[in-house]
Amino acid sequence: MSRSEFEPVAVVGGGYVGLVTAAGFAELGHEVHCLEADADKVASLARGRVPFFEPGLEQALAKHRDRIHFSTEPAAAVGACGLFFVCVGTPRSQTGEADLDAVYTVVDDLPLGAGQTIVMKSTVPPGTGIECRKRLDGQGREEVGYVSCPEFLRESSGLSDFIKPDRVVIGDAGNGAGDAVEEIYLRITSQDRILRTDLTSAETLKLASNAFLATKITFINEIANLCDRAGADVTTVAEGMGMDPRIGFSCLRAGIGFGGSCFGKDVTALAHEFERHGSDTEILDAVLRSNERQWRRVLDKLVEGLGSLEGASVAVLGLAFKPNTSNTRDATSLRVLKGLRAEGVDVRAFDPEVRREALVHDVNADATLREVTFAASTGECVAGADAVVLVTEWPEFVDLDWSEVRRAMAGRLVVDGRNALDPTAVSAAGLDYVGVGRPASRPERMPVS
Ligand code: UGA
């Protein structure tokens, strides 16, 4: 076993955030003990297999193989580490609030003692830290530290977000428990990017940040819908809005809705908090409703371009909730596939990193998804299609040879659900380009003599 320069740290949970965090700390030079309850997962991680696609992660874990130890058993980690970065899932429960079973299991069962600190990275509702503190105190474990240190990294750029965070939020009960966490983060960021808070403010600001970004995306999506009717171009509108530093450019890419493990779940969880505290929120409810129906712009555009959809053949490019990930949690693609099947469309779909097997849960739960054909390549997906719909802007779709696509298709409609394609390149290939809130672009036709 190699000995690293810095103190060993523990990461609890071998999911997306846990593995990126483990790889990040190993890259900084720490020995990392990664605890994961699923023995099969531990065995496959120890063999270097990462169960999802994240750029650079498999390579980073392989590079630091000697420094990262995966185990289901806490003994070695508890014997060696002071800081326990908890990265367990907090999935949405049936009623909308976060399911905190995994969080409380860690707090109650991890045998920590004096000088050891739980650092909560998982997204939890406001008040969870106070509840965890109470549990620890109630068990006579007052000397175990508890810190809220929410995670802000984005899938597909997790490793670089870890190494270069915009901010690090460290909440504690005012007892200095966060000092050791601050010290460790000062190796990757500067003091002015560290915000020390109380526990509940740290938890609230994480949910509020995600909810705000989701609101911004939803706002520009609605503006795009207006642009479609008014004849404006939402990409230009967003550019002009973003030039105001009070607004900024990020999260102003209009399209057919946000997806992923976080935005929908966190907006729902935050809305639930309003309810729990006897208050209400107009904005968050509207964001969820608006996002839920934004995919229908695909339907509108197909009907406009093809007329009747019954029996039409449509190629869906992209299943992941965004490019460079294999995650399909809450992905817009699922709404699109189900919605098109419900209209009697013959749907074929392809994603470079998502196979049908990855959707097995959704496919089993929804009969309409069983009727979708999953293609093995872009070529197979678009062959004979009346229309192509871009759902995830993978670079290989953005850079497609549209003349080749035109030759393979039966029809010539391209619906760009992410405003990611070059309308001129698509129409120059003889295809009809339609975006979301962007003027359509059609091939120049020879005048009929
Ligand atoms: C999001 C936040 O951006 C992270 O800061 C946060 O840490 C993370 O959730 C989390 O809580 O774990 P992520 O879900 O990985 O990160 O993805 P984003 O890149 O934010 O994109 C989310 C969705 O919004 C995607 O479906 C994307 O296509 C969509 N989006 C994003 C737009 O439709 N338009 C935009 O302008 C930006």
The set of residues, in sequence order, having a beta carbon less than 8 Å from that of 28 and lying 6+ positions away, is 6, 187, 188
Read off the pLDDT of residues 26-52 as tens digits, 9 standing for 90 and up.
999 999 999 999 999 999 999 999 989
CA distance 342 to 332: 15
Ligand 1 atom closest to 418 (CA): 33
Q: Which of 81, 132, 227, 262 is catalytic?
A: 262
Q: How far is the CA of 24 from the centre of ligand 1 (A)?
A: 20
Ligand 1, atom 31, residue with closest C-alpha: 251
Ligand 1, atom 1, residue with closest C-alpha: 154
Ligand 1 binding pocket includes 330 (Cβ within 6 Å): no
Q: Where does residue 119 rank: exposed (0-12), middle (13-18), buried (19+ CB within 10 A)? A: buried
Instruction: Tell me what pLDDT residue 232 has.
Output: 98
Ligand 1, atom 2, residue with closest C-alpha: 154
Mean of all residue pLDDT scores within the chain: 94
Say whether pLDDT at 1 is over 70: no
Of 337, 338, 320, the C-alpha closest to 329 is 320
Ligand 1 binding pocket includes 251 (Cβ within 6 Å): yes
Q: How far is the CA of 208 from the centre of ligand 1 (A)?
A: 14
Q: How far is CA 247 from CA 166, 225, 234, 251, 437, in A?
A: 17, 20, 15, 10, 20
CA distance 218 to 132: 34
Ligand 1, atom 29, residue with closest C-alpha: 258
- The arithmetic mean of pLDDT across residues 300-318, rounded, is 96
Ligand 1 binding pocket includes 253 (Cβ within 6 Å): yes
Give the sheet arrangement for strand 117-120, strand by strand. 68-71, 32-35, 9-12, 83-86, 117-120, 145-148, 168-172, 194-198
CA distance 248 to 174: 34
Report the percent of the chain where pLDDT is more than 70: 98
pLDDT band with cut points at 50, 70 and 90 for residue 447: low
What residues form DSSP beta bridges with 261? none
Q: What is the pTM of this model?
A: 0.95
Q: Which of 5-14, 42-51, 357-366, 422-431 has the least mean pLDDT?
A: 357-366
CA distance 180 to 116: 10
Q: How far is the CA of 154 from the centre of ligand 1 (A)?
A: 6
**Is the CB of residue 300 less than 8 Å from the CB of residue 27?**
no
Known active-site residue 262: yes
Taking the alpha carbons at both ends of the chain, their separation in whole angstroms is 81
Report the percent of the chain where pLDDT is more than 90: 90
Read off the pLDDT of residues 383-425 as tens digits, 9 standing for 90 and up.
999 999 999 999 999 999 999 999 999 999 999 999 999 999 9
Mutate to test the pocket of ligand 1, among 19, 262, 288 (most ligand atoms within 8 A of CB): 262
Instruction: Tell me what pLDDT residue 187 has.
Output: 93
Instruction: Tell me what pLDDT residue 5 has.
Output: 62
Ligand 1 atom closest to 158 (CA): 15
Read off the pLDDT of residues 117-130 as tens digits, 9 standing for 90 and up.
999 999 999 999 99
Ligand 1 binding pocket includes 263 (Cβ within 6 Å): yes
Ligand 1 binding pocket includes 352 (Cβ within 6 Å): no
Task: Provide the token pair at 305.
Answer: 């371009």
pLDDT band with cut points at 50, 70 and 90 for residue 97: confident
Q: How far is the CA of 324 from the centre of ligand 1 (A)?
A: 12
Q: How far is the CA of 258 from the centre of ligand 1 (A)?
A: 7
CA–chain centroid gap for 132, Å, is 27
pLDDT band with cut points at 50, 70 and 90 for residue 95: confident
Say whether pLDDT at 2 is over 50: no
Ligand 1 atom closest to 152 (CA): 7
Ligand 1 binding pocket includes 154 (Cβ within 6 Å): yes
The per-residue DSSP string of 154-212 comes to: -TTSHHHHHHS-S-EEEEESSSSTTHHHHHHHTTTS-GGGEEEEEHHHHHHHHHHHHHH
Ligand 1 binding pocket includes 152 (Cβ within 6 Å): yes
Instruction: Tell me what pLDDT residue 359 has.
Output: 78
Ligand 1, atom 6, residue with closest C-alpha: 152
Ligand 1 binding pocket includes 32 (Cβ within 6 Å): no
Q: How far is the CA of 156 from the centre of ligand 1 (A)?
A: 10
- The arithmetic mean of pLDDT across residues 361-376, rounded, is 85
Task: Provide the token pair at 14.
Answer: 């071998």
- The arithmetic mean of pLDDT across residues 261-274, rounded, is 94
Say whether pLDDT at 357 is over 90: no
Ligand 1 atom closest to 209 (CA): 5
Ligand 1 binding pocket includes 356 (Cβ within 6 Å): no
Instruction: Tell me what pLDDT residue 449 has.
Output: 46
Looking from the CA of 179 toward its CB, the CA atoms found within 13 Å total 5
Q: How far is the CA of 170 from the centre of ligand 1 (A)?
A: 22
The set of residues, in sequence order, having a beta carbon less than 8 Å from that of 20 and lying 6+ positions away, is 54, 57, 153, 158, 159, 162
Q: How far is the CA of 16 from the centre of ligand 1 (A)?
A: 14
Ligand 1 binding pocket includes 78 (Cβ within 6 Å): no
- The arithmetic mean of pLDDT across residues 160-174, rounded, is 96
CA distance 38 to 170: 29
- The arithmetic mean of pLDDT across residues 147-176, rounded, is 96
